[in-house]
């Protein structure tokens, strides 16, 4: 019995040290990186993190991809804020925001965004900018609150026809991401995720390679994908990305978002087209352009532009194209406001 207790005590020491390392690191991250924005109470114990920059009559609202945070728009928001009022945020379950309390479907998220804007006293009109899954959220927002929206920029929006239940072949991918996210939650609680992502984004990367190697070829493939995408972001943002990816809540939020994909597809496949609001849709050069039928399903005034040098992350591959697209929509909103006044 004495030897068993001793063994348990020895095993508990590194676990406790890892837990303390994670708790202290998370507390320090929040103090260091969270102060640029503010937390808005949207009711029921939920607080969403909001980052505002610039000034202007209309506000450009940024919505990120399915597991991304406001950091994904860092460079774009900085540039756009030079000629417009801007706001980016972390959805419930991601970044610095509270854990989600509802299914991560476009309708639920759009309502929460509206509550956030109300609580933050950011008045319409809004120019909506959404990437990937965020494009579905912005479409839903425009359907729910059409009088508050002047225009929309969709950056390679998620194509519902490619996902379950319309395309059941990707259900295995959803199940796998959900399972890996569930495994990552306890790993993050004891600081191992912090060790890995800090090594990858803030240090030499050797520790990350060793941990990824445990997962074999798939682990190294995921590591390569992460390096490739994060490498397109400004280097000063990498420690902030590491801070988000170190948190157990990030993996819980990712799991909630991914598991809601089939319900999101069901919600949007029969959604009414956006009427009377101009939509600019950016499609990457390595993808097939959307058909006229698909464009009409999105709205009655949709213009598609091909981003020839881009993959899925157009705002990272061709940021100037996205900035110019937003600038054009902003200038149109200003002209409309002047006509209304006159």
Would the pLDDT of 9 be above 90? Answer: no
Convert the pLDDT of each residue in 120-167 to its tens digit: 999 999 999 999 999 999 999 999 999 999 999 999 999 999 999 999
Model pLDDT, residue 225: 61
Would the pLDDT of 106 be above 80? Answer: yes
Q: Using the 8-state DSSP alphabet, how is residue 318 labeled?
A: S
With beta carbons less than 8 A apart as the criterion, state whether 155 and 129 touch.
Answer: yes
Convert the pLDDT of each residue in 218-273 to its tens digit: 555 555 666 767 888 888 999 999 999 999 999 999 999 999 999 999 999 989 99
Model pLDDT, residue 217: 59
Question: 237: which 2 tokens?
Answer: 């943002």
Q: 157: helix, coil or strand?
A: coil
DSSP secondary structure of 236-271 = GGHHHHHHHHTSHHHHHHHHHHHHTHHHHHHHHHTP
Convert the pLDDT of each residue in 158-205 to its tens digit: 999 999 999 999 999 999 999 999 999 999 999 999 988 888 888 776
Model pLDDT, residue 203: 75
- What are residue 299's phi and psi, to 5 degrees? -170, 175
Would the pLDDT of 319 be above 60? Answer: yes
Q: In Å, what is the CA distance from 233 to each residue of 6, 29, 304?
A: 48, 19, 25
With beta carbons less than 8 A apart as the criterion, state whether 92 and 100 touch.
Answer: yes
Residues 6+ apart with CB under 8 A from 21: 191, 194
With beta carbons less than 8 A apart as the criterion, state whether 67 and 56 touch.
Answer: no
Model pLDDT, residue 3: 52
Q: Rounding to the nearest 10 degrees, give the CA dihedral for residues 228, 232, 234, 237.
A: -40
Q: 340: helix, coil or strand?
A: helix
Q: Using the 8-state DSSP alphabet, how is residue 35 labeled?
A: G
Nearest-angstrom CA–CA distance, 208 and 212: 6
Compare 308 and 227 and report the one with higher pLDDT. 308
Q: 70: helix, coil or strand?
A: helix
Domains and their CATH numbers in the chain: 37-167+263-341 (3.40.50.1820)
- Band (pLDDT 50/70/90 cuts) for residue 206 is low
């Amino acid at each position: 019995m004495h030897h068993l207790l001793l063994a348990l005590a020895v095993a508990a020491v590194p676990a406790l040290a890892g837990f303390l390392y994670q708790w202290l690191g998370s507390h320090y991250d929040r103090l260091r990186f969270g102060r640029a924005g503010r937390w808005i109470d949207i009711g029921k114990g939920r607080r969403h993190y909001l980052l505002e920059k610039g000034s202007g009559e209309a506000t450009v609202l940024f919505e990120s991809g399915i597991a991304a945070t406001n950091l994904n728009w860092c460079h774009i928001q900085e540039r756009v804020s030079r000629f417009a009022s801007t706001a980016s945020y972390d959805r419930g379950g991601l970044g610095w925001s509270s854990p989600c309390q509802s299914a991560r479907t476009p309708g639920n998220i759009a309502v929460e965004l509206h509550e956030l804007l109300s609580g933050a006293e950011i008045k319409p009109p809004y120019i909506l900018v959404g990437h990937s899954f965020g494009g579905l959220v912005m479409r839903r927002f425009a359907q729910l609150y059409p009088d508050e929206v002047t225009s929309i920029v969709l950056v390679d929006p998620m194509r519902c026809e490619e996902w379950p239940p319309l395309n059941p072949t990707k259900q295995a991918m959803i199940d796998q991401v959900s399972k890996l996210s569930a495994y990552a939650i306890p790993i993050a609680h004891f600081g191992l995720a912090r060790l890995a992502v800090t090594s990858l984004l803030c240090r030499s990367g050797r520790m990350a390679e060793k941990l990824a190697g445990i997962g074999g070829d798939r682990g190294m493939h995921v590591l390569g994908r992460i390096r490739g995408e994060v490498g397109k972001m400004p280097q000063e943002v990498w420690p902030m990305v590491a801070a988000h990816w170190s948190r157990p809540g990030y993996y819980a939020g990712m799991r909630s978002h991914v598991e809601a994909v089939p319900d999101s597809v069901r919600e949007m496949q029969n959604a009414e087209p956006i009427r009377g609001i101009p939509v600019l849709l950016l499609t990457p050069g390595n993808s097939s352009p959307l058909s006229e039928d698909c464009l009409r399903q999105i709205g009655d005034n949709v213009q598609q532009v091909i981003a020839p040098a881009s993959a899925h992350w157009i705002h990272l591959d061709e940021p100037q194209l996205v900035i110019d697209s937003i600038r054009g929509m902003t200038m149109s909103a200003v002209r409309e406001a002047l006509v209304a006044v006159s």
